[in-house]
Structure 1
Amino acid sequence: MQPKAHIVDLPVYQPGKPIEEVQKEYGLSEVVKLASNENPYGFSPRVKAAIESELTKFNLYPDGGAVELTAAVAEHLSVQADQVIFGCGSDEIIALIARAFLSEGDENIMADATFSVYKSNADIEKATSIEVPLKNGTHDLEAMLAAVTDRTQIVWICNPNNPTGTIVSETELKSFLDRVPSSVMVVLDEAYFEYVTDSAYPDGTKLLADYGNVVVLRTFSKIYGLAALRIGYGVGQASVIRSINQVREPFNTTRIAQAAAKAALADREFVESCRIKNTEGISFLQGEFDRLGLSYFPANGNFIMVDTQRSAADLFQRMLRKGVIARAGFKLYPTYMRVTVGSPRENEIFIRTFEEALNEQGAAV
């Protein structure tokens, strides 16, 4: 049995190391995981009640159209219900967009250091990916615009960008959208939208009325704390969403995920609390990196990418043995480490372990 020839060399997505694996491997009783940009404050208390109400319904298929959740999200965003589609995380929406709109010979444009799922799904569809270098860690929209050809179908803009955490401003984005051909889909991946506090940051859903080629992606995995339930969504023009729906599997989100997402969406106080705590955590970590004389990209999500000024992969392993999991191994940024903003205690443990590992690494040189 042989797989399709064009997928043989595709990289397999590498998630952050699981806590249980690290505990077992190094004989640790406690492990702090700050690698996957999860919400350290869990999820809204309303979510638990919503899940409990579904526990007697496991024999029933979920609502394939997620009607109640769709209505709630549409009202929340002031869009029509037929402009919203749900997926198994926003990752699945990316895959569905690629399935619906990319074919062999097509081109799609993305940053050279961004969420890897854009390229992997384009590769599966045999489309050509044009990777435009980031400029100071930020999407270079002028260079991306210059890369557009008559074969371009999609431009992917991760805002805030993962892994760097930088943003494209509303002014920059509108200038880009005004000039990109209307036949080119522009996907705004706003997975970390709810964490951003910079007033220059755009709300992609507010651009839909003026730009019919925009599709916005969001998720319940980050600030809402539902990463394990895998539910995210896309918003765009009704005709575009219909095309994406045509390649969606019938029951791609579960009853539990839909109920939990609806409950989470309604708890605005929890979201605001998490945003405030995250901002405080960013300030703490930035202050510590300043103290250590290390530079970092502006943090706009719930993570910071810091230049360790040495092999981040080696530093990662040293910290792993001490029970702290961060993220390293970025091909274009070999000295950088991405750390999720944790709780105050987790942030303090990270900095203590990080500094210890820096000192060890320095002594070993």
Structure 2
Amino acid sequence: MTTKIPARKNLKNISAYVAGKPIEEVQRELGLTRIIKLASNENPYGYSQLAKKAMLAEMDQTAYYPEGMAPALAEKLAVKLDTKKENIIIGNGSDEIIRLLTRSYIAENDEVIMPDVTFPRYETNVLIEGGSPVLVPLIDGVHDLDSMYKAITDKTKMIVICNPNNPTGTIIEKAKLEAFMSKVPKHILLIIDEAYYEYVNDEEYLETIPYLEAHPNLVILRTFSKIYGLASLRIGYGIMQPSIIEELVKVKDAFNTNRLAQAAAVASLEDDAFVKYCANQNQLGKVYLQTELSKMGLEYFPSHANFLMIKLNQPGKEIFEGLLKQGIIIRSGHLLGYDDTIRVSIGSQEENEEFIQALKIILN
């Protein structure tokens, strides 16, 4: 009999992250050749051809370790974002920076305030460090900032905001977020995850980078995984005060981002036309899906990202399984905190149309 070696007690009630089903897995399970994946908010238009050229050129350097702090990428980002290079840290996806923040700042019983529901890795990383997540329910899919502020105690070390929020796609009104930022005590880290920043085209969305100097506790997270289409390369970044970065570097892996990812990200920042095209196509796809869903009598959260969370009158898991049999992968709401919903990434026009037709078949 094999003896199970006990792991850390902090892991007892933590489950592994459940990602959207990969295309290859569905092909193996169902024997299908054509699969449409609308589960993980990936870019259906791929990635910049400038990034491809940069990766091919960098291939010859594969035998050599990358620069640990990705200085060329940090400098390029600083120019593009009108901030200082010293304010930027590059991560193995922005989710690594979340992990670095909790590892650096969260001790046993420290509290971290976050919305319920949101991206689940915030809560998981807090629990791993022995901290206590304080979950504040959303109101109509939007952060309840008043209740989040009231939840602050002498144990609060962090507050996490996801804007646009995943999985609802909603944003916080500019004036409300600005007022909240001003009220949060400066000894509490305020982390704003803006993974879907480039998709937002609403005047009510707050540009947070100009607030860095006035709010030394502010941490902004962004990624190359979404609109830039570099999801498999795992590269994101954080914008914050150098004093915070100094602490994160202490617990960061020495070579956390690879050469190809760094080169691709640098090149992607040169291709504004590609980003604009993807944002425009996403907006067209979103309008199409919203129009068709409304015709079907279905409601959805007002999304400012590249996905929609659709409200149903039946378990989302049933719809997920029905669509899967037709070769369409989406996300069931039961994995995201809303049982009677599904979350669907906005695909190409052809993919969107196939999704709508398949959904009509299932619902009828």
CA drift at 1:331: 5.6
CA drift at 1:155: 0.3
Equivalents in 2 of 1:172, 1:303: separation in Å? 24
Equivalents in 1 of 2:111, 2:94: separation in Å? 21
CA RMSD of aligned residues (A): 0.9
Q: Is the 8 A contact 1:330 1:336 kept in 2?
A: no
Aligned partner of 1:346 among 341, 348, 351 = 351
Equivalences for residues 208-219 of structure 1 within 5 A = 208-219=212-223
Equivalences for residues 1-365 of structure 1 within 5 A = 1-328=5-332, 329-330=334-335, 332-359=337-364
TM-score by length of 2: 0.97
Letter in 1 for 2:268: A
Equivalents in 1 of 2:54, 2:233: separation in Å? 13
CA drift at 1:345: 0.3
Q: Is the 8 A contact 2:282 2:346 kept in 1?
A: yes
Output one character per residue of 1:22-66: Cα deviation in whole Å (capped at 9) or x when no partner: 112112110100000000000011011000011111110001120
Equivalents in 2 of 1:309, 1:125: separation in Å? 38
TM-score by length of 1: 0.97
Worse-superposed segment, 45-54 or 16-25:
16-25
> The residue matched to 2:201 in structure 1 has which SS?
coil
Q: Is the 8 A contact 2:178 2:206 kept in 1?
A: no
Q: Is the 8 A contact 2:102 2:129 kept in 1?
A: yes
Equivalents in 2 of 1:343, 1:279: separation in Å? 11
CA drift at 1:70: 0.7
Equivalents in 1 of 2:209, 2:248: separation in Å? 17
Letter in 1 for 2:44: P
Equivalents in 2 of 1:239, 1:47: separation in Å? 32
Letter in 1 for 2:77: V
Equivalents in 2 of 1:331, 1:212: separation in Å? 32
> The residue matched to 1:55 in structure 2 has which SS?
helix
Letter in 2 for 1:23: Q
Equivalents in 2 of 1:86, 1:336: separation in Å? 34
User: What number of residue pairs does the alignment pair up?
Assistant: 359
Equivalents in 1 of 2:16, 2:240: separation in Å? 29
Equivalents in 2 of 1:43, 1:6: separation in Å? 39
> The residue matched to 1:356 in structure 2 has which SS?
helix
CA drift at 1:242: 1.4
Q: Is the 8 A contact 2:103 2:129 kept in 1?
A: yes
CA drift at 1:5: 1.7
Q: Is the 8 A contact 1:108 1:155 kept in 2?
A: yes
Sort the Cα spacing of 1:32 and 1:125 in 2 relative to 1 into closer, same or farther, 3 A: same
Q: Is the 8 A contact 2:91 2:256 kept in 1?
A: yes
Output one character per residue of 1:272-307: Cα deviation in whole Å (capped at 9) or x when no partner: 010000000000000011000111000101000010
- Tell me, which stretches of 5 or more residues in structure 1 are unaligned? 360-365
CA drift at 1:179: 1.1
Q: Is the 8 A contact 2:10 2:129 kept in 1?
A: no
